[in-house]
Amino acid sequence: MRVLVTGGAGFLGKALAQRLLQRGDEIIIFDTSLSGLDNLHSAFGHRLEVVAGSITDMAALALAFKAHRPDAVVHCAAVVGMLASPMTAMRVNVEGSVNVLDAMRLFETRRCIHISSEETYGNFQAATIDEEHPQRPVTAYGVSKLAVEHLSRTYNVLHGLEVIHLRTSWVYGAGLLRHRVPKNLIDAALSGQPLHIPHGGDSAIDHTHIDDFVSGVALALDHADHPYDAYHIASGTSLTLHEMVDAIKGIVPGADISVGPGPYRYLGELEICRKGALDISRANRVFGYVPRLSFAAGAREYVDRSISGRCVPESRHAATA
Ligand SMILES: NC(=O)c1ccc[n+]([C@@H]2O[C@H](COP(=O)([O-])OP(=O)(O)OC[C@H]3O[C@@H](n4cnc5c(N)ncnc54)[C@H](O)[C@@H]3O)[C@@H](O)[C@H]2O)c1
């Protein structure tokens, strides 16, 4: 299969591109930034094409589709984060996604896997929610991801495109450069620096290991007949930040890390909405998705990779929780 991965130089897109290359697919990465792709080039250069361009540039997208004629798209490119400015979120995430859908229509690429987000729900109304939970996003980022879901349905009705939305939770693991739990906690633990996050201990959040996320995307990409257009790809469980700190201390004894009570504040500023676990039974039933790594196992894997040098902690940033 020839798959065009928008945002393929980012955390999720690159891990996904690597998995698809490993199994023999041809990959076209379309991204504004092409840094950090050297290892993919040297391992899979003959089956990897990289195109520098923005999804907001319809001409650049059309040229990439015309040159490479992908069989499918995995759409990861986005401005990510709860503090994204409304204008940027709309221009890049919404307008850019419409360009991707138009390029698919023009060049007859039928299937797209869109990486959507639990942020489309806003405040969770229960400890565990399924895909039918009301979608009332409270951030511009969440609104932009929900708009893409709705707009894709228009392209399905009018043009027969099949866009599958995989709503995921907070993905963690090697390769994530943004400052976020558990990365900042694990990096502090490994570098021996004290880190106290003054808030957030009571926030329960679903954390998905990058390997499980990639497996879920690959399964959804391969599945022939989707009875739904939205699925959760997550861990299916949630843990509070208090529990997260305890788990990391169990892996790195003596770690001087702690978290205060109350809800988590994103980058210390924006109080996150009420979260919880994402029910993954639909993805399990339809295409056999089963996450393999509990948080403790995933955190241990991250620690082991860091210690073996394959993922170097950015200790100088550890205190910026
Ligand atoms: N990481 C998570 O925990 C998480 C959770 C839910 C949803 N998502 C979604 O997954 C996708 C990937 O997230 P990520 O964590 O890998 O983010 P990331 O920031 O690491 O990667 C995003 C990539 O998109 C590229 N990009 C940004 N604007 C672009 C544009 N105009 N044109 C082309 N490329 C552009 C960036 O250069 C980057 O390589 C996003 O759509 C995000 O909304 C991520």
Q: Do both 128 and 145 map to the same domain?
A: yes
- Do 207 and 169 touch, CB atoms closer than 8 A? yes
Cα-to-centroid distance, 294 and ligand 1 (Å)? 24
Taking only the tens place, the pLDDT of each residue in 159-213 is 999 999 999 999 999 888 888 899 999 999 999 999 999 999 999 999 999 999 9
Q: Do both 195 and 242 map to the same domain?
A: yes
Cα-to-centroid distance, 315 and ligand 1 (Å)? 23
Q: Is residue 283 part of a domain?
A: no
- Do 78 and 5 touch, CB atoms closer than 8 A? no
pLDDT of 97: 98
The reported pTM is 0.95
Cα-to-centroid distance, 115 and ligand 1 (Å)? 9
Q: Is residue 284 part of a domain?
A: no
Q: Do both 13 and 86 map to the same domain?
A: yes
Q: How many Å apart are CA 118 and CA 114, to the nearest integer? A: 13
pLDDT of 309: 66
Examine the fold and report which residue of 110, 142, 168 is the final residue of a domain before the chain moves on.
168
pLDDT of 179: 82
Examine the fold and report which residue of 168, 194, 227 is the final residue of a domain before the chain moves on.
168
Cα-to-centroid distance, 75 and ligand 1 (Å)? 9
Closest atom of ligand 1 to CA, residue 171? 3
Nearest alpha carbon, ligand 1 atom 11: 76
Closest atom of ligand 1 to CA, residue 54? 32
Q: Do both 136 and 250 map to the same domain?
A: no
Cα-to-centroid distance, 10 and ligand 1 (Å)? 6
Q: Is residue 223 part of a domain?
A: no
Cα-to-centroid distance, 55 and ligand 1 (Å)? 12
The DSSP code for 50 is: E
Q: Do both 180 and 151 map to the same domain?
A: no
Cα-to-centroid distance, 228 and ligand 1 (Å)? 24
Cα-to-centroid distance, 14 and ligand 1 (Å)? 10
Residue 46 domain boundaries: 2-168
Q: Is residue 211 part of a domain?
A: no
Examine the fold and report which residue of 117, 148, 168 is the final residue of a domain before the chain moves on.
168
Mean pLDDT of 140-161: 98
Nearest alpha carbon, ligand 1 atom 7: 117
Q: How many Å apart are CA 318 and CA 321, to the nearest integer? A: 7
Residue 266, beta-bridge partner list: 270
Confidence class of residue 9 from pLDDT cuts 50, 70 and 90?
A: very high
Q: Is residue 285 part of a domain?
A: no
Q: Do both 119 and 88 map to the same domain?
A: yes
Nearest alpha carbon, ligand 1 atom 22: 10
Whichever domain contains 260, its CATH number is 3.90.25.10
Q: How many domains does the chain have?
A: 2
Closest atom of ligand 1 to CA, residue 13? 16
Q: Per-residue pLDDT for 307 more than 50?
A: yes
Mean pLDDT of 82-106: 95
Q: Do both 148 and 189 map to the same domain?
A: no
Q: Is residue 257 part of a domain?
A: yes
Q: Do both 164 and 187 map to the same domain?
A: no
- Do 203 and 272 touch, CB atoms closer than 8 A? yes
pLDDT of 312: 43
Exposed / middle / buried, residue 182 (Cβ in 10 Å: 0-12, 13-18, 19+): buried
Percent of the chain topping pLDDT 70: 96
Q: Do both 19 and 156 map to the same domain?
A: yes
Q: How far is CA 179 from CA 81, 182, 184, 266, 296, in A?
A: 11, 9, 6, 10, 20
Q: Do both 140 and 244 map to the same domain?
A: no
Q: Per-residue pLDDT for 243 more than 90?
A: yes
pLDDT of 277: 98
Closest atom of ligand 1 to CA, residue 170? 3
Ligand 1 pocket test, pick from 4, 5, 6, 12 with the greatest ligand atom count within 8 Å of Cβ, gives 12
Beta-strand pair 277-278/128-129: parallel
Q: Is residue 219 part of a domain?
A: no
Whichever domain contains 123, its CATH number is 3.40.50.720
Q: Is residue 282 part of a domain?
A: no
- Do 236 and 199 touch, CB atoms closer than 8 A? no
- Residue list, ligand 1 pocket, CB within 6 Å: 6-7, 9-13, 31-33, 54-56, 76-80, 92, 96, 115, 117, 145, 168, 170-171
Provide φ and ψ at 138, rounded to 5°. Answer: -115, 0
Q: Give the closest residue to 80 by CA, choosing from 188, 212, 177.
A: 177
Q: Give the closest residue to 185 by CA, choosing from 11, 311, 293, 321.
A: 321
Nearest alpha carbon, ligand 1 atom 26: 77
Q: Do both 160 and 16 map to the same domain?
A: yes
Q: Do both 139 and 12 map to the same domain?
A: yes
Cα-to-centroid distance, 249 and ligand 1 (Å)? 30
